[in-house]
Amino acid sequence: MKDKIFDSEIKVMEIVWDSEPVTAKEISRIAGDAIGWNKNTTYTVIKKLIDKGYLKRSEPDFTVTSVVGRDEVQRSETRGLVNRLFGGSKKALFSALLEDEELTESEIRELRAMIDRR
């Protein structure tokens, strides 16, 4: 995986993944409406993501596309969470999730089927 991605950067990545290819101007408009960011903040985050290799810029109109997919970022962030908070134990993560979560019978069946497929 590329350099660490921060929460603000993930917000921009979400906009790109949902809309790509998308212009920086449109990202700025969406971020302004959804998050309350100004243009300078948005362009700064876009530039950081380009420098890190998460996004690619093309012309005309400063069009942005992702280089790294949502699923890759999700997997990397999940691994980091498991390592930081659960000592690398997926079992401890699932245990913590299940303690606080009411699951329907349907959800339990789906989870069992996922485990069985592994």
Domains in the chain: boundaries: 7-70, 88-118
**Lookup: tokens for 41:** 């903040």
Task: Report the pLDDT value the prediction gives residue 3, as an integer from 0 to 100.
Answer: 80
Phi and psi of 8, rounded to 5°? -65, -35
7-70 CATH pick, 3.30.1600.10, 1.10.150.20, 1.10.10.10, 2.60.40.10: 1.10.10.10
pLDDT digit string, tens, across residues 13-65: 999 999 999 999 999 999 999 999 999 999 999 999 999 999 999 998 999 99
First to last CA, the chain: 24
Task: Report the pLDDT value the prediction gives residue 37, as an integer from 0 to 100.
Answer: 97
Task: Report the pLDDT value the prediction gives residue 2, as an integer from 0 to 100.
Answer: 67
Q: What DSSP letter does each residue of 6-23 carry, written as one string? A: -HHHHHHHHHHHHH-SEE
pLDDT at 1 over 60: no
